[in-house]
Chains A and B, each alone.
Chain A
């Protein structure tokens, strides 16, 4: 278990002190995939670096398996880092080493014999699906393949935790999905607790169990992904979760309603169709973003009402009497 307690980090620069993190408190349970989402500059990269003390916090502590990271002597800290793997946005592979050499690297520095290291590295490269490319150099690989090597390398010392710092931000959507699925399977099959730092909602959505929303050096919100995503309490969480709909263009100039679904049973039936049939009035769906958690639909939809006043009122009445939450969009 990772416990982050009253963690703070202030950078001293010539232009004055910059507070990157302030009083951060998080508990990351073993076995889960924990997401930390925030806009750039929110402090999320600093936060993940404070977990393995690549950045030394200026306040508070990180307690991993009951041990205070801040009070570990240098030697034990290096030992501890071997049980916390890390992958990066830019992969950070050793360019002058082969794929195999890269995966052997953490084993070499922890004093594992060459033969044993090689066997272990080959086994890991098989898990990430790169057993054919062991002799290639990083410059010969695609971004997705590089991240696979980085994942194999991070897993070489059998870490209990894996920190992912914007691990998919440099990858295309397809490759992103493959890497996220690989992380999910590593979490499931190897029992590695994964901490994911990202600015992309879809990453959290796809693999995380819990999520913390970080904004302006503070944790704005934390909880199960299904809870935070369906009922965001803070504005920043709403901004991150609900995509900006600047491109919603009204086609007929009718009134627009935003419908919110948060898990009531009726969202499982063809609600809009029934409404249209029962009211005998057409609506225009301008925007819809819904997800399924625990077999219940959550999300938002924006519909445009007919210009005819009577039909529009009929629809609003129907929605209210069917307990659909709606709000007029201005």
Chain B
């Protein structure tokens, strides 16, 4: 049986609001994480050993920075990045600040996802493009990214799910959404049904993202026979 608290929250539209806020924060943060993470991933790939713009210095510095941010648990990174959020959006409270932290936390993750996808592109295809006189930018835009597209899309689904889980964690620092509802109304007021409803709703959102990602990747991949 559901508690009276659930009906109250639902009638006031708080749960619906929570779903929307979670989705909204995740999408905005994902967009910016890719805005920074995608070029970062490309640079990590092309500057790596045997890459098309091999550059050990750039690769080591960026690689170190990415590893540095990735090795800090998100909850600690959030606290540490409060001043950065304040500097960027003028406040260290609320969803605006949370989105900044999500971007800082997720961009390095996205960069590694992008890097691993692009590294799957057959070196022979890159060599063929070089033999045709393609310059480096053309190889990136016309060979690496299009050839890695299905893998990039799968990677994006995984990254978005990660960002979603980060966004729920951000409730501890004043972010809203399903995470906050679970903590305030579920945990702190001892309504375990509300916690489980938040869990259930999150699982559904994750499933939708994952299924959509897989479906789009399959549809765009031309490597499958007889399609």
Binding site for B on A (CB under 8 A): 52, 54, 78-82, 84-86, 88, 90, 92-98, 105-106, 108-110, 137-140, 150, 153-154, 157, 163
CA distance in complex: A78, B149 (Å): 26
In the bound complex, how far is the Cα of B127 from the Cα of A163, in angstroms? 13
B1 interface hit (Cβ, 8 Å): no
Across the interface, which residues of A come within 8 angstroms of B135, CB to CB? Answer: 78, 109
Query: Which residue of the partner chain, among A88, A93, A109, contacts B142 with CB atoms under 8 Å?
Result: A109
Cβ-closest chain A residue relative to B125: A92
CA distance A94 to B143 in the complex (A): 7
Known: A81-B132, A84-B131. 9 other contacts (CB 8 A): A78-B133, A81-B130, A82-B133, A90-B124, A93-B125, A96-B223, A108-B142, A109-B142, A139-B222
| Known contacts A78-B134, A82-B133, A106-B133: A139-B127 contact under CB 8 Å | no
Q: How far is the CA of A109 from the CA of B129 in the complex (A)?
A: 9
> B149 — nearest CB in chain A belongs to which residue?
A96
CB <8 Å contact, A81 and B149? no
Please tell me if the beta carbons of A109 and B133 are within 8 angstroms of each other in the complex: yes
B21 to chain A: closest CB distance in Å? 37
Query: How distant is the Cα of A54 from the Cα of B123 in the complex, in angstroms?
Result: 12
Which B residue's beta carbon lies closest to that of A77? B133
Asked if B138 is at the interface (CB within 8 A of a chain A CB), the reply is yes
**Does B225 interact with chain A (Cβ within 8 Å)?**
yes
Q: A109-B138, A137-B223, A140-B226 are in contact. Are A94 and B131 (CB under 8 A)?
A: no
**9 sample A-B contacts, Cβ–Cβ < 8 Å, listed by A number:** A54-B131, A88-B127, A90-B122, A94-B146, A94-B147, A109-B129, A109-B135, A154-B132, A163-B131
The reply on B128 being an interface residue by CB < 8 A is: yes
Other-chain contact of A82, B127, B132, B220 (Cβ < 8 Å): B132
| Chain A residues with CB under 8 A of B122 | 90, 92, 95
A207 to B86, CA, bound (A): 72
Which residues of chain A come closer than 8 Å to B138, judged between CB atoms?
A: 109
Q: Does B224 contact A (CB under 8 A)?
A: yes
Known: A92-B124, A92-B125, A94-B147. A157 touches B225 (CB 8 A): no
Cα(A94)–Cα(B122), bound, Å: 9
Residue from B134, B138, B221 whose CB has the most chain A CB atoms within 10 Å: B134
- B125 and A109 within 8 A (CB): no
Most buried by A among B125, B135, B142, B147: B125
Alpha-carbon distance between A139 and B225 when the two chains are bound, in angstroms:
6
CB distance from B68 to the nearest CB of A (A): 28
Contacts of B130 in A (CB 8 A): 54, 81
Instruction: Decide: A52 and B223 in contact? CB cutoff 8 A.
Output: no
| 0/1 string, B126-166, CB within 8 A of A gives 1 | 01111111110010001100110110000000000000000
**Alpha-carbon distance A137/B226, docked complex (angstroms):** 9
Residues of B within 8 A of A109 (CB): 129, 132-135, 138, 142
Query: Lowest 3 A-B CB distances belong to which pairs?
Result: A81-B133, A92-B128, A86-B131
A88 with B132: CB separation less than 8 A: no
Chain B residue contacts of A80, Cβ below 8 A:
133
